[in-house]
Amino acid sequence: MARDTKIQYQPKPWRKTPLVESANLSKAAGCRIFLKLDLLQPSGSFKSRGIGAFILSTLQRSSNPDKIHFFSSSGGNAGLAAVTASKALGRPCTVVVPNSTKP
């Protein structure tokens, strides 16, 4: 008798962002220059891809993903990406911000 396995779909907590050519930079450099628009990521930075992929793969590998709580130490974009990805995937996340972080 085959065992019934349920595969749960989890969306990626990051977006595919476009490349746009910069006419001014291309002209100044003498070659085509493209800008990756990672400001369109859910967290506003490229860190959404790496940290989001880590969080997603951790949940997919876990035998009990409902018990996972993510932690990050960051005074900037990495912490924001961790919280954004965790929230999108329905898991809690705590970010410890160093005292040296400027407002």
Nearest to 38 by CA among 51, 54, 23, 29: 51
Sequence-separated (6 or more) residues with CB below 8 Å from residue 73 = 79, 95, 96, 97, 98
Q: Answer yes or no: is pLDDT of 9 > 70.
A: no
Residue 2 lies in a domain: no
* pLDDT (tens digit per residue) in 45-73: 999 999 999 999 999 999 999 999 999 99
What's the number of domains the chain is made of? Answer: 1
Residue 82 lies in a domain: yes
Residue 57 lies in a domain: yes
**Global pTM value:** 0.80
Domain span at residue 33 reads 19-95
Residue 45 lies in a domain: yes
Residue 75 lies in a domain: yes
Angle (CA) 87 93 94, round 5°: 145
Residue 62 lies in a domain: yes
* Cβ–Cβ < 8 Å for 59, 85: no
